[in-house]
């Protein structure tokens, strides 16, 4: 898929802007605080209806205004699709082909985008919550079923945790309702767990090949889904449900005592192994960065495999964080494959040599100017 046109109206520091993009590499150059990351954020929001930088949608609206609009045209294999997200004090509205979507979940998947920012290099050594968020964000774009099940699980988890606290403090005494909540939570949790196992196995296939190339065939990468069940590639949703529900039943008193749900996909993690050693605990910073780069680049092929379309790739000032070898592998991997948006304060000589006919935009104070070749 290709984002051919983007229009911003009172989004962040952009007053009113329409820009047409290259189907290849689009480079956004400018000093800090000029609007480079805001541009990438707008594309990300158009894809996922929410920002990666803030949970408060009001932050996206120009501080002098009451509403903001992001719209764009996506070229897919089956034709052009106009998309639109509007933010007001009352909330946000999403449109596909000029038709408002009743639920945001119906919108997600129309435009797929993978964001790679410097903080993503901490995917390996960061917290388990970071990796769970990574799975939910990326897999939801690939599967509307995963998006739905993960959303239902989060809703039920909040309800069950609230009820566990009420039981703990004797505000409630009815354990029958807890059993009902446990049953429902186990059902959606099982769907999420089995889907994660499936996606991670496919992601490993692409990431392992990339990691071998970057490490000059010296290292072999494996991805393991670290969860509390005995999950294998052959585990069915029904089997996962039975196992998870039994954990809730067997540990009911313990969870009431703690006032929280201690089993389920909200406690899971990804384990990265390089040459069979846990790279999170024993890997060098170079190995950790190579692993993160391999996994992020592998998402491109996984998304194509799962959806039939390549996603957009958003690179937010990543080149400055990578050495020459990793820069080279990154830019070679995306060449002539995926539409890319790259922000930087300056395009290094190595990057210029590797990028084939980029369109370069200079950004200053929320205005764009295409560089004349």
The annotation places the binding site for ATP at 30-37
- The DSSP call for residue 372 is P
Distance of CA 240 to the CA centre of its chain: 25
Beta strands 2-11 and 14-20: pairing type?
antiparallel
| Residue closest to 194 by CA, chosen among 157, 156, 235 | 235
User: Which residue ranges make up the annotated binding site?
Assistant: 30-37
- Contacts for 235-244 with beta carbons within 8 Å, 24 or more apart? 235/194, 235/197, 236/194, 237/190, 237/191, 237/194, 238/190, 240/189, 240/190, 240/193, 240/194, 241/186, 241/187, 241/189, 241/190, 244/186, 244/189, 244/190, 244/193
How far apart CA 77 and CA 2 sit, in angstroms, is 9
Question: Do residues 62 and 10 make contact, with C-beta atoms less than 8 angstroms apart?
Answer: yes
């Amino acid at each position: 898929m290709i984002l051919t046109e983007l229009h911003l109206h009172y989004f962040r520091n952009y007053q009113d802007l329409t820009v047409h993009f290259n189907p290849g590499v689009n480079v956004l150059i400018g000093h800090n605080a000029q609007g480079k990351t805001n541009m990438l954020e707008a594309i990300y929001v158009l894809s996922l209806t929410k920002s990666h930088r803030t949970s408060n949608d009001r932050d996206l609206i120009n501080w002098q205004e009451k509403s903001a609009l992001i719209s764009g045209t996506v070229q897919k294999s089956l034709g052009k699709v106009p998309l639109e997200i509007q933010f007001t004090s009352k909330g946000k509205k999403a449109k596909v082909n000029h038709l408002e979507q009743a639920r945001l979940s119906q919108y997600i998947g129309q435009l797929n985008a993978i964001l790679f920012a410097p903080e993503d290099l901490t995917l390996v050594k960061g917290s388990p919550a970071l990796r769970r968020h990574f799975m939910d964000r990326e897999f939801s774009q690939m599967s509307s079923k995963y998006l739905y099940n993960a959303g239902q699980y989060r809703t039920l988890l909040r309800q069950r945790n609230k009820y566990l606290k009420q039981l703990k403090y004797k505000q409630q005494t009815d354990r029958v309702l807890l059993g009902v909540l446990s049953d429902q939570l186990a059902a959606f949790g099982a769907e999420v767990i089995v889907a994660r196992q499936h996606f991670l196995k496919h992601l490993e296939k692409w990431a392992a090949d990339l990691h071998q190339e970057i490490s000059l065939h010296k290292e072999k990468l494996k991805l393991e889904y670290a969860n509390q069940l005995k999950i294998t590639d052959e585990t069915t949703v029904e089997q996962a449900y039975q196992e998870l529900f039994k954990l809730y039943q067997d540990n009911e008193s313990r969870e009431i005592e703690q006032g929280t749900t201690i089993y389920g996909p909200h406690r899971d993690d990804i384990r990265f192994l390089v040459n069979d050693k846990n790279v999170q605990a024993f890997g060098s910073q170079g190995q950790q960065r190579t692993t993160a780069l391999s996994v992020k680049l592998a998402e491109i092929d996984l998304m194509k495999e799962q959806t039939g379309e390549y996603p957009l790739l958003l690179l937010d000032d990543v080149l400055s964080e990578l050495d020459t070898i990793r820069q080279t592998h990154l830019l070679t991997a995306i060449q002539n494959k995926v539409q890319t948006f790259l922000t930087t304060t300056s395009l290094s000589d190595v990057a210029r040599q590797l990028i084939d006919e980029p369109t370069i935009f200079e950004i200053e104070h929320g205005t764009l100017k295409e560089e004349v070749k």
